[in-house]
Amino acid sequence: MKLQMDACRHTGKVLPVIFALLVCVLPRPGLTADKAAELPDNDEIVGAGAHFSWIIFSRLKPELEKLTGRKIALYGKDSMMGQGCNAGIKTAKLSNDKRDSFGFVCCALSEEEISKNKLVVYPLANEPIVILVNTSNPVTNLSKQQLRDIFKGKITNWKTVGGPDKPIVVVTRLHCKDRPGHWKRILPSAKDFTSRRINVTSADDMVQRVTDFDGAIGHIGSTWIFEAGSKTRAITIDHQAPTAANLKNGKYPFYRKLSAITTENPRPDVVKIIKEAQTGPGFRKLAKEFELLPLVPETK
């Protein structure tokens, strides 16, 4: 199902708001960077990392298992800060003669980080970063400058951008602060965002806060499954929707890079899995569903 501008999908449950601007975030089960090293040596291929890349491998899992004839164990659903890209790097580095493993990340890694950890990066796709507002908000479009001024705290009321006379509640998830790209395409540094904001540590909580506050605005990757109960809606930026086509032609400015990662000497079955995820027809179907822009040509 393609990204809908008027009705989104949501995986989280609606929770009561106890404090208006004080958010208490509880950790979700998953593979943390510390726990990754405790995985047993066995014949399973283990993959772990960021939720948004996890979606790809999770949906492709049956065909990837058929391709290799081996079971694949994946960790990363609803990953939070510290569990996502960091766990992906940790898991990739666990690969050895007794265990096949790889990682997946939703942020670009710097050349310094790649070199330091002796990693190989396999690009999957560019993913639009969707700007979310509450469904009760009549605003459907912002200019890029208006959006940046909102996140900076220069614009604090929706009335300024043609909406109701209502305070703007800025919700941010500023994960992977030392890595390039992702939310930094909105503003280049965490210090550039208004201090009067709600910080969350998971995409699930991002959607929840925008649902909770009718004056909220937030950001999330397009590879997120919204369910009934979410009161969120995507808006356009300079009248351009967050689609793969608009990423390709440069009309939509906000995106991040989804990738798989391995050590410098990955074993054949791991490479086979990643190459199929990069170039196979199954991934092309997913790319259309979630508006991803594939970065490697399809294998004919």
The pLDDT assigned to 229 comes to: 86
For the chain, the farthest-separated pair of C-alpha atoms sits apart, in whole angstroms, at: 62
| Domains 33-126+257-294 and 127-248 fall in the same CATH topology | yes
All residues at 6 or more sequence positions from 217 whose CB lies less than 8 Å from its CB, including other chains: 131, 132, 133, 150, 168, 169, 170, 171, 210
Higher pLDDT, 36 or 252: 252
CATH code for the domain defined by 33-126+257-294: 3.40.190.10
User: What are the Cα distances from residue 42, in Å, to 73, 96, 99, 100, 235?
Assistant: 11, 11, 6, 9, 46
The pLDDT-based confidence of 299 (bands split at 50, 70, 90) is confident
Helices 51-68 and 268-279: crossing angle, nearest 10°? 120
Please state the rounded mean pLDDT for residues 176-198.
94
Domain 127-248 has CATH 3.40.190.10: yes
- 298 φ, ψ (degrees, to nearest 5): -70, 140
Q: Which tens digit of pLDDT belongs to each residue from 71-128?
A: 999 999 877 545 689 999 999 999 988 889 999 999 999 999 999 999 999 999 999 9
Which of the residue ranges 24-33, 59-68, 159-168 would you say has the lowest mean pLDDT? 24-33
User: What are the Cα distances from residue 194, in Å, to 45, 89, 209?
Assistant: 43, 31, 17
Higher pLDDT, 76 or 36: 76
For residue 293, is pLDDT > 80?
A: yes
Mark 114-151 as b/e (b = at least 16 C-beta within 10 Å).
beebebbbbebbbbbbbbbbbbebebebbeeebbbbbb
CB contact at 8 A, 94 and 36:
yes
Q: Which tens digit of pLDDT belongs to each residue from 204-221?
A: 999 999 999 999 999 999
For residue 26, is pLDDT > 50?
A: no
The pLDDT assigned to 38 comes to: 56
pTM: 0.85
Averaged pLDDT score across all residues of the chain? 87
Higher pLDDT, 83 or 51: 51
CB contact at 8 A, 173 and 79:
no
Please state the rounded mean pLDDT for residues 46-50.
94
Which of the residue ranges 5-19, 56-70, 248-262, 283-297 would you say has the lowest mean pLDDT? 5-19
User: What are the Cα distances from residue 142, in Å, to 185, 241, 299?
Assistant: 16, 11, 38
Q: What percent of the chain has pLDDT over 90?
A: 76
Per-domain residue ranges of the chain: 33-126+257-294, 127-248
Higher pLDDT, 8 or 148: 148
Q: What is the DSSP letter of 82?
A: T
All residues at 6 or more sequence positions from 80 whose CB lies less than 8 Å from its CB, including other chains: 25, 27, 28, 30, 201, 202
